């Protein structure tokens, strides 16, 4: 697996200050994607044990809220194994920190696939759905277009269907607060 970028102080891709890993490789090819260069599986740098160690060390910092996975596409089959390994280590080392993942797949496309479900089980919040230029809005929080959902993965896996994360949309409704 290659990765396009590693951001050690990201406030745009989930709540709080986060470490964000942008993996390489994506077959969705959404029109006007903000990260087109990461469509190429060979783009960027190889994800090595040193990269993994760097991420885990960054997660040690007390001001880091969690880890966000973006792309490219984290759920491409070529990326799943390395991300599962990373998240298992991150969960063991920092069970108190949350994991957000952005994917062009919809939740329902990921269920029923063993490795996708293994990855899902290590994620707290999934922002799903392809970016759609015609549904783009600057008023949306943590997503680019209104078709994308912010899903509570734990509750979704329990119930057997996608359950939206509650409390995230308040800023969109004008309160300025992203929580309940």
The Cα 12–Cα 44 span in angstroms is: 21
CA distances for 102 relative to 20, 79, 99, 174, angstroms: 11, 13, 10, 24
Residue 58 has pLDDT above 50, yes or no: yes
Enumerate the domain spans of the chain.
2-170
Tokens representing residue 67 in the block: 């880890």
pTM of the model: 0.90
Is the CATH number 3.90.1150.10 carried by domain 2-170? no
3-class state of residue 125 by DSSP: strand
Phi and psi dihedrals of 15, rounded to 5? -75, 145
Q: What is the pLDDT of residues 131-151, one digit of tens each?
A: 999 999 888 889 989 999 999
């Amino acid at each position: 697996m290659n990765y396009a970028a590693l951001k050690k102080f990201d406030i745009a891709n989930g709540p709080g200050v986060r470490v964000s890993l942008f993996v390489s490789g994506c077959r969705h090819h959404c029109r006007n994607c903000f990260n087109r260069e990461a469509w190429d599986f060979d783009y960027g740098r190889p994800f090595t044990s040193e990269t993994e160690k760097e991420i885990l060390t960054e997660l040690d910092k007390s001001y880091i809220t969690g880890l966000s996975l973006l792309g490219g596409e984290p759920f491409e089959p070529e990326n799943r194994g390395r991300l599962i390994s990373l998240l298992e280590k991150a969960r063991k080392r920092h069970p108190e920190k949350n994991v957000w993942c952005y994917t062009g797949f919809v939740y329902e496309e990921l269920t029923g696939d063993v490795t996708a479900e293994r990855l899902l089980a290590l994620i707290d919040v999934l922002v799903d759905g392809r970016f759609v230029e015609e549904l783009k809005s600057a008023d949306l929080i943590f997503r680019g277009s209104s078709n994308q959902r912010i899903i509570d993965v734990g509750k979704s896996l329990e119930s057997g269907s996608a359950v939206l994360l509650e409390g995230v949309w308040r800023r969109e409704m004008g309160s300025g607060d992203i929580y309940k």
